[in-house]
Amino acid sequence: MLLLISRFQTLIITTATLLTIFSCGNGNEQDQNSAEQPQDYPVMTLKSQTANVHSDYPASLQGVKNIEIRPKVEGFIEQIFIDEGAAVKKGQLLFKIHAPQYEQEMRTAGASIKSAEAEVGSAKMQVRKVAPLVEEEIISEYELEAANFSLQNKEAMLAQAKASLANARSNLGYTTIRSPVDGVAGGIPFKTGSLVSSASLEPLTTISEISEIYAYFSFNEKQFLDFSTSFTGKNIAEKLKHLPPVSLILSNSTEYEEKGRITTVNGLINPETGSVNFRATFPNSSGLIRSGGSAIVRIHRQLPDAIQVPQKATYEMQGKRFVYVVDASGTAKSTKISILDIPSGDSFIVLDGVKAGDIIISEGVGSLKDGMKIKSPTLSNK
């Protein structure tokens, strides 16, 4: 009886095992068949078209003129007529320096002039007195020559006194400081009562003429060579004339409403940084941009007959960029492409690897493998 039960149990276990194996085999076969079925992927046909691209370069902003206002004489600041950041006009009064020594010098020089004028008058009288006596040979010509030399000496002293007065008047004029240009005042580190002189380390203020703004930026050596070959012209000056207007992206990421132009290129490559400095000029009639700020200069370009591929249609491997090109049989082939290192929105500009008319997979490339079959409504309609 026990032997019969044991054989019956063995038969049940064997049957269950065979059923399990058969079931797993069918499942694997179904999975394999499912994997071999072409999957749906969106595709696109590449076209040749005009592409708008741009390059961004960090820039520092400076006014057309940044003039440091420094005192030429020593004295105490008696009065400040402007505030920091104020708009000023050429000739406008900025500072008054209290320097009474120059007023005293003017008084002294004035008195010296009067004394010298009296001395000259006396010397002239002596010459007039001696001259007829010499003609009558009452006295020798030596006396007349001595009188003339004395007159010349007195006239020289008078000229020196007048020069001292002019110098004192200039020094006194330096105590009143006016703006040399139209512009905007910078910081004012000294306050009323501060002692200042021409040897002071800081200027009284800086006047920035900002009717136009200079944006200074740089190219590396490769970018400069690309620039030299990308635009028409026999020399740099002619190439600058053919450059399109450039944009300025402010520090708050907004685009400045006025366009500018690249006006100058430094003639030397900096041996330490390997860069070439450029300068773009922007109108600034509203005074929105201030000297000392920072921004981004954006240079626009149009590329005719360009091939563009969406960035999401590419993948990167070992520093190289690839797309999946679909052939007539629906097979996806991994293809290396060369791209322009200038962004074009959410697309890449292709230099080599694919051409107009090629069909590529536009999305979902992360799940693809080289040689996989795909299906697409676009392909099925071809």
Read off the pLDDT band of 377 (50, 70, 90).
low
Question: With 60 as the cut, is the pLDDT of residue 381 above it?
Answer: no
Query: Distance of CA 361 to CAs 93, 224, 319, 323, 334, Å?
Result: 71, 36, 21, 7, 10
- CA dist 197 and 75 (Å) reads 7
**Tokens at 250, concatenated:** 């402010």
Question: Percentage of residues in the chain with pLDDT exceeding 70?
Answer: 88
Q: H helices of 236-279, where?
A: 236-242
Query: Up-side HSE of residue 189: CA atoms within 13 Å toward CB?
Result: 12
Q: H helices of the chain, where?
A: 2-36, 100-135, 141-173, 221-230, 236-242, 377-380
pTM of the predicted protein model: 0.61
Question: Percentage of residues in the chain with pLDDT exceeding 90?
Answer: 33
pLDDT in tens, 42-63: 999 999 988 888 888 999 999 8
CATH topology for the 71-99+175-202 domain: OB fold (Dihydrolipoamide Acetyltransferase, E2P) (2.40.50)
CATH of domain 100-173: 1.10.287.470
pLDDT in tens, 162-176: 898 888 888 888 999
pLDDT in tens, 27-44: 444 444 444 577 888 999
Asked whether the beta carbons of 295 and 347 are under 8 A apart, the reply is no
Parse the chain into domains and list their residue ranges.
Answer: 39-51+305-380, 56-62+211-303, 71-99+175-202, 100-173
CATH of domain 39-51+305-380: 2.40.420.20
- The CATH-assigned architecture of domain 56-62+211-303 is Beta Barrel (2.40)
